[in-house]
Amino acid sequence: MPLTQDEVEEIRKILGREPTVEELAMFEAQWSEHCSYKSSRLLLKLLPTEGMHVVVGPGRDAPAVRLFKDFAIVFKIESHNHPSAVDPYDGAATGIGGIVRDILTLGAKPVALLDMLYMGEPWDPHANWLIRGIVKGISDYGNRIGVPTVAGDTWFDYAFNTQPLVNVACVGIVPLNRLVLGSIRPGDYIIIMGNATGRDGLLGSSFASKPLAEDTDKEIGAVQVGDPLTEKLLIDALQILVSRRLVKYIKDLGGGGLTTAISETCADHGLGAAIELEKLHIRQKLTPLELLVSESQERMLVVVEPVKLSEVEEILRNYDVMYSVIGRFTEDGVIKVFCNGVKVAEVPAKELARPRAVRRVSHPPAEALKGLKPLYSLPPEPSYEEALTKLLSSPNIASKRWIYEQYDHEVGVRTVVKPGLGDAAVLRLLDGSSRGFAIKGDANPRYTSIDPFNGAANSVAECFRNLVAVGAKPIAIVDELNAGNPEKPEHFWYFEMMLKGLAWMAEELRLPVVGGKVSFYNEDHRGRQVKPTTTIVGVGRVKDVSRAVTMDLKESDSVIAVVGVTYPELGGSEYLYKVFGLEEGEIPRPRPASELRNAKLILKAVELGLVNAVHDISVGGFAVALAEMAILGNLGVEVDLDLVHARGVMRLDELLFSETQARYVVEVKSNRVEEFKRLAQRMGVCISLAGRVLDKPVLILLKGSKTILSADLGLLRDSYNSLEKAIEGGA
């Protein structure tokens, strides 16, 4: 996105003269929305970012949180929405590459990837092409770099048919005393390692900071091809450099390329730099301007003190990593760029790195009212079995096996709870102890499009519950806000409300938001925003991974308990959309107090070994959660709905399919039921002992003595496993 007239004027003031073309390009790259957060920075201050465990908060390429007293976890989320819409395979692949490099900058070892994909409907031919390309891109890149893709989130929706949201996250672990925090001094060397710089991806960040053009076929300049082999070599070489304490600081060359990496590093340390561009290793002959802003992938900046330079060079050569020493840091706070002895740019680092923030106009559109409208006259109730089958086969609920089986989710031998079986993935540290962590990503684009404040709050809550359900104590989150055009007040309102909902719920649940990203301009070619979406990735602490809990039912005769109260909250539900075609109504209320209380019970019950299985209730409601547990455990279940605590419920479908927050389904061991009951009582948590596990493959719902639904588990499983057919037999 070109600089505005005001911005050019400001640059003149900063420099006290006319800028050179190179300088203009540097400002354009650095001041793009993608790199500078100029539209969002003022509002982002609302987020709670501090906490006991936070070691590195927002500001660096990635944050770090203390997981145990001697171990930190580094995790971060990123979007690659625009590149993936144009070239789904390479767009998604390079998204993985970028997020992994962010994790490397603190010296951490990347041990897990997540992908949160909000895509079109599998039966739409263009969306189907995008879905296959995106998943294959992540598969080919993630698998090749040897980092397991262990969890994620998906949503299939017509709103994303041409503009998908591809959000990816990476998790790294590092002993606390190995964190690379940086203490650069003037005279230290600047090394660029990894791929040679080329013309690929010129001004890609500016590309991500504007809506897709009608004829995207012409956007060739911004398409980048991933090179996972080079990325893997970077990962391995950095592990060696960090373990031998040879580098002082690491930074990714991402959006804005060399310009952003150098200006931010200088600005953060109050330093300047002298750069000799002709020393940069290149793929093809480029102008100084192109060298400064090229976003060629798989490149990183490392800072090395003079006495260690030769050792670093030897390691890079031995491990087949290309590199060049392009300059040194200076005291004066000014970035001077030379090419073959000719000065092409001279810019103060601080002013370049931080453009003035913009407070955008925000205004609710008329459409926003649909989230305030109570549902008072629903169509008559359908057959429950038909409704349940429809929901289980909905791509938003069905098993994601077609996706996660294409990912190596086991490399690293850390994955204890694997995809498809738990509400979150659980990994061990593999340090000789039984310690580990849980990780999960969540969003509900329908909620945030109907009610951005409460929808975003619910994303935080769902992520929180998913971590709790496997027995992990949630400790921190990162967020990705996918929004429309910030220059349009009716788009910006959604961004503002999502941010406020996220800030509120994170504070209530005591989860610091340690990092995040903002993606604007998610519009289709007609200028309509796609469903604004708040994606949350959270980590939880697991003291003993061998006690982590999955959701599959384990043994017959154990007892089914529902934790939490059910309210008539069908607004924005999958049921309402799949069965009646409605996307409206008040979405489920966020219930932070209940979330905290109920989570405490679950964690205690897991710790005491009272439960065999836990599953949080989310999309699809109670009936779907129960069916999933039965299908995965291959054990039947019988529940009396009269025993399930509910308030204000007038119809059975409200009980079965409401997506009321703060609820779980729990399989309690048959000989520990009394203990579980007493524990709940003591903690003031409402539980309903409503059924039991059967040893025959059938799901039975009763209302007192009356059978409401009796479905064969095999048939339900067929519906649940129908995603592969929807995609492979799709277009």
Instruction: Show which residues are catalytic.
Output: 34, 80
Q: Pick the closest to residue 698 from 642, 640, 652, 634 (CA basis).
A: 634
Task: Tell me how many residues contact other proteins (CB under 8 A).
Answer: 57
**Closer residue to other proteins, CB minimum distance, 236 or 278:** 236
**Closer residue to other proteins, CB minimum distance, 31 or 207:** 207
* Residue among 137, 172, 194, 228 that touches other proteins (CB under 8 A): 228
Distance CA 207, CA 219 (A): 9
Min dist CB 151 to other proteins, Å, is: 14
Min dist CB 154 to other proteins, Å, is: 17
Q: Which of residues 385-404 bind other proteins (CB under 8 A)?
A: 404
* Residue among 324, 406, 433, 721 that touches other proteins (CB under 8 A): 406
Min dist CB 227 to other proteins, Å, is: 4
**Closer residue to other proteins, CB minimum distance, 31 or 141:** 141
The contact mask relative to other proteins for 287-306 (x = CB under 8 A, - = no) is: --------------------
Helix (H, G, I), strand (E, B) or coil at 101: helix
Q: Is 145 in the site for other proteins (CB under 8 A)?
A: yes
* Cβ atoms 242, 107 nearer than 8 A: yes
* Cβ atoms 538, 436 nearer than 8 A: no
- Provide the phi-psi class of 59: left if phi over 0, else alpha when psi is between -120 and 50, else beta: left
**Closer residue to other proteins, CB minimum distance, 552 or 659:** 552
* Cβ atoms 520, 530 nearer than 8 A: no
Beta strand 334-339 with 272-276: parallel, antiparallel or unpaired? parallel
The contact mask relative to other proteins for 190-219 (x = CB under 8 A, - = no) is: --------xxx---------------xx-x
Distance CA 502, CA 448 (A): 11
Residue 95 main-chain phi, psi, to 5 deg: -60, -45
Q: Is 220 in the site for other proteins (CB under 8 A)?
A: yes
Q: Pick the closest to residue 643 from 710, 716, 559 (CA basis).
A: 559
* Cβ atoms 337, 346 nearer than 8 A: yes
**Closer residue to other proteins, CB minimum distance, 404 or 676:** 404
* Residue among 203, 233, 503, 693 that touches other proteins (CB under 8 A): 233
**Closer residue to other proteins, CB minimum distance, 219 or 487:** 219
**Closer residue to other proteins, CB minimum distance, 232 or 677:** 232
Min dist CB 126 to other proteins, Å, is: 8
Min dist CB 554 to other proteins, Å, is: 8
CA torsion 238-243-249-252 (nearest 10°) is 20
Q: Pick the closest to residue 696 from 633, 617, 612, 622 (CA basis).
A: 633
Q: Is 257 in the site for other proteins (CB under 8 A)?
A: no
Matching residue, tokens 């921190």: 476
Min dist CB 546 to other proteins, Å, is: 6
Q: Which residues contact 634 (CB under 8 A, 6 or more apart)?
A: 552, 553, 697, 713
* Residue among 98, 152, 172, 226 that touches other proteins (CB under 8 A): 226
Judged by CB under 8 A, which stretch of 222-230, 264-272, 535-543, 652-660 contacts other proteins? 222-230
Q: Is 166 in the site for other proteins (CB under 8 A)?
A: no
* Cβ atoms 196, 296 nearer than 8 A: yes
* DSSP symbols for 622-667: HHHHHHHHHHHHT-EEEEEGGGS-BSS--SHHHHHH---SS-EEEE
- Which strands, in side-by-side order, build the sheet including 299-304? 249-252, 299-304, 189-194, 323-330, 272-276, 334-339, 342-348
* Residue among 410, 557, 607, 674 that touches other proteins (CB under 8 A): 410
What does the block give as tokens for 522?
A: 């998610």
Min dist CB 531 to other proteins, Å, is: 24
* Cβ atoms 162, 525 nearer than 8 A: yes
* Cβ atoms 119, 135 nearer than 8 A: no
**Closer residue to other proteins, CB minimum distance, 41 or 281:** 281
Cα–Cα distances in angstroms (integers) from residue 541 to residues 69, 71, 459, 496, in the given order: 12, 11, 19, 31
Q: Is 146 in the site for other proteins (CB under 8 A)?
A: yes
* Residue among 225, 342, 372, 608 that touches other proteins (CB under 8 A): 225
Distance CA 115, CA 117 (A): 6
Q: Give the containing element (helix H, strand E) for 5.
A: helix 5-15
Q: Which of residues 411-450 bind other proteins (CB under 8 A)?
A: 411-413, 415-416, 418, 421, 428, 430, 432
* Residue among 89, 156, 657, 676 that touches other proteins (CB under 8 A): 89
Min dist CB 136 to other proteins, Å, is: 7
Judged by CB under 8 A, which stretch of 62-70, 112-120, 542-550, 569-577 contacts other proteins? 542-550
Min dist CB 144 to other proteins, Å, is: 4
* Residue among 4, 383, 546, 681 that touches other proteins (CB under 8 A): 546
Question: Hey, which residues does 563 pair with through a beta bridge?
Answer: 664, 687
**Closer residue to other proteins, CB minimum distance, 36 or 612:** 612
CA angle 298, 300, 305 (to 5 degrees): 155
* Residue among 21, 181, 213, 229 that touches other proteins (CB under 8 A): 229
* Residue among 1, 176, 179, 223 that touches other proteins (CB under 8 A): 223
Q: Is 95 in the site for other proteins (CB under 8 A)?
A: no
**Closer residue to other proteins, CB minimum distance, 319 or 384:** 319
Min dist CB 145 to other proteins, Å, is: 7
Cα–Cα distances in angstroms (integers) from residue 580 to residues 134, 387, 576, 585, 617, in the given order: 30, 10, 5, 13, 21
Min dist CB 320 to other proteins, Å, is: 5
- Which strands, in side-by-side order, build the sheet including 687-694? 611-616, 664-668, 559-563, 687-694, 636-640, 698-703, 706-712
**Closer residue to other proteins, CB minimum distance, 140 or 268:** 140
**Closer residue to other proteins, CB minimum distance, 173 or 349:** 173
- Which strands, in side-by-side order, build the sheet including 165-175? 54-56, 64-68, 71-79, 165-175, 109-119, 149-156
The contact mask relative to other proteins for 104-143 (x = CB under 8 A, - = no) is: -------------------------x---x--x--xx--x
Judged by CB under 8 A, which stretch of 155-163, 179-187, 316-324, 532-540 contacts other proteins? 316-324
Min dist CB 221 to other proteins, Å, is: 8
SS3 of 545-565: the string is HHHCCCCCCCCCCCEEEEECC
Min dist CB 195 to other proteins, Å, is: 9
Q: Within 10 Å of residue 2's Cβ, how many Cβ atoms? A: 12
Q: Is 645 in the site for other proteins (CB under 8 A)?
A: no
Q: Give the containing element (helix H, strand E) for 276.
A: strand 272-276
**Closer residue to other proteins, CB minimum distance, 500 or 554:** 554
Residues that bind other proteins (CB under 8 A): 86-87, 89-90, 129, 133, 136, 139-140, 143-146, 198-200, 216-217, 219-221, 223-230, 232-233, 283, 318-320, 404-413, 415-416, 418, 421, 428, 430, 432, 545-546, 550, 552, 554
